Amino acid sequence: GNSVTQMEGPVTLSEEAFLTINCTYTATGYPSLFWYVQYPGEGLQLLLKATKADDKGSNKGFEATYRKETTSFHLEKGSVQVSDSAVYFCALKFSGGYNKLIFGAGTRLAVHP
């Protein structure tokens, strides 16, 4: 079936460190891929997306590239800030899926000064 696997957290980093959160997927067909972020006490917000192979999504210094050959969509940021502390969800959606998002388990990121 269709699924998303994320690296387990929590991930703890110091401010200005490099961030990678791994995400791989299994899907029939060619899905769109998303990263959503959930700040403490809030709902999910779209962080970035990519709709086809080799697309790079970017926003707020975060980047992720849709890699069809490795079925991956890893999230990266060159220099994290305390304000980036949140839970990050990788998700996929495909045209035949009635608009349903399939989420990974989420990765909690804690950034310390």
Pick the binder of other proteins from 40, 43, 69, 113 (CB under 8 A).
Answer: 43
H or E element that contains 14:
strand 11-14
Contact region with other proteins (CB under 8 A), list: 10-18, 46-54, 60-68, 74-82: 46-54
DSSP annotation string for 33-54: EEEEEE-TTS-EEEEEEE-STT
89 binds other proteins (CB under 8 A): yes
User: In angstroms, what is the C-alpha Rg of the chain?
Assistant: 14
93 binds other proteins (CB under 8 A): yes
Q: How far is the CB of 52 from other proteins (least distance, A)?
A: 9
Strands 19-21 and 75-77 come out as: antiparallel
Contact region with other proteins (CB under 8 A), list: 11-19, 20-28, 64-72, 103-111: 103-111
- 53, 106 in Cβ contact below 8 A? no
Please report, as ranges, the residues that interact with other proteins according to CB under 8 A.
4, 31-32, 36, 41-46, 49, 51, 89, 93-95, 97-101, 103-106
